[in-house]
Amino acid sequence: MRTPISLRVSLTPRAALAGLLALPVVVLWPRWWVVLLLAALWALVLLADAFAAPEPRRIQVQRRLPAQVRLGGTVTGRLLVTNPTARAARLEIRDAWNPTAGLAEQRSTLTVPSRERRAIEQAFTPTRRGEHSSRTLLVASVGPLGLARRTAAVDTPGRLLALHPFGARRHLPSRVQRLREIEGLSAIHQRGQGTEFDSLRDFVDGDDVRSIDWRATARRRSVVVRTWRPERDRHVLIVVDTSRTAAGRLGDSTRLDAAFDAALLLTALAGQAGDRVDLVCVDRIPHLSVVGSSRTTVLHDMVSATAGVHPALVETDWERAASTITDRTRRGSLVVLITPVDPAVVHTGLLPVAARLAKDHPLVVASVSDPALGELAAGREDVEALYIAAAAEQARQESAGVAAALERAGAHVVDAPPERAPQALADAYLALKAAGRL
């Protein structure tokens, strides 16, 4: 049995209708004592009906609900209501979830016979990523006449975690196929940073003579060359900027949602490549990290951990972020910074940090651009549209200038709208693999 929080008595609309039945008597005998007598009789009937209802604090409520659901999906749960009293209970139950939990019906009415149990089916379709909870659950026991009810707030906590939908998952098979081509069919013939020995094969015209394996050639009495493939078991650190810029709306979602979509696709692809992936969210402090997960669980761990992460209305401290990156990586690890590439980056100190990181790591700066800028820049309808187009084009040019500065600092910049950002980041990772830089 759950612990009750409060108990109160209230009237139903039927109580007002019962009071109206006394009007003809008052009209026929308009005396004060008649009104007083009828009011006392009405109150007595209401009290008798209220206390004839089963005690709501004795009603037992248990919740059956899955812990997680993917955003946009629907999950079903149940409330199991048990009546341990000797009388049948007419109950009105209100389950007060926050509106974004998407509970189809918050109010339910049912009758539970004596010493029996009934179930209330519930359907949840969350509209916001993150944790949803039921603030309280009210159980109202209605009297036999339906005139009054006794209500108790019962402590039956409910929690539902809405996970990121990971819409970019549909692009994973094509990128995995490209990865297999890089690792197998299109093996790298020359040794470079981020490659390891793959196999021996016969020399063909066009091969670099520096790849000839002279010992194998002597044994086989034919020219044999070494082939190389991208190195496995590399370390990838994804750093997601969760500052105020991540709260910007890009269509139906925020910039942070698109950033997580790109991070998850890269995580899934790197896991297929045999690389280890960690994730850190930063603004003023590194408030979330997924570190040390195995390749089989890292994607699930990231989806669960990032479900409750929301933008903070602060600027990112990139010096602190650089210290965190240095502590969590070793030289040569791939560092991916997912942050907007705009003029505000210059003022928050990303450029000098990117230059330092690029000296020790392959560095990718991924940005989710605003597709509305392109639409505004194309406007030519009137004078106002021209001014708006000029401002939009200026913003795009400033972002391009910041991207060029990051490229000169040694970073590889990926800037794409929300629907293409995950694929663009995955392609950048594959390009590094194909070039032998990772």
**How far apart are the C-alpha atoms of 381 and 410, rounded to whole Å?**
41
* Confidence (pTM): 0.78
CA distance 189 to 208: 8
Please write the tens of the pLDDT for every residue from 192-246.
Answer: 444 555 667 787 776 777 778 888 888 887 888 887 655 567 899 999 999 998 9
pLDDT for 348-402, tens place per residue? 789 999 999 999 999 999 999 888 887 788 878 888 888 888 888 888 888 889 9
- Residue partners of 196: CB distance under 8 A and separation at least 6: 228, 229, 230, 231, 232
How many whole angstroms separate alpha carbon 18 and alpha carbon 43?
11
Handedness of CA 209, 429, 420, 295 (dihedral sign): positive
**Percentage of the chain modeled with pLDDT above 70:** 91
CB proximity list for 41: less than 8 A, separation 6 or greater: none
**Per-residue pLDDT band at 3 (split at 50, 70, 90):** very low
94 burial (CB, 10 Å; 0-12 / 13-18 / 19+) is middle
Digit-coded pLDDT (tens) for 111-152: 999 999 999 999 999 999 989 999 889 999 988 888 888 888
Tokens (6 digits) for 404 = 């060029």
5-19, 171-185, 374-388, 415-429: lowest mean pLDDT where?
A: 5-19
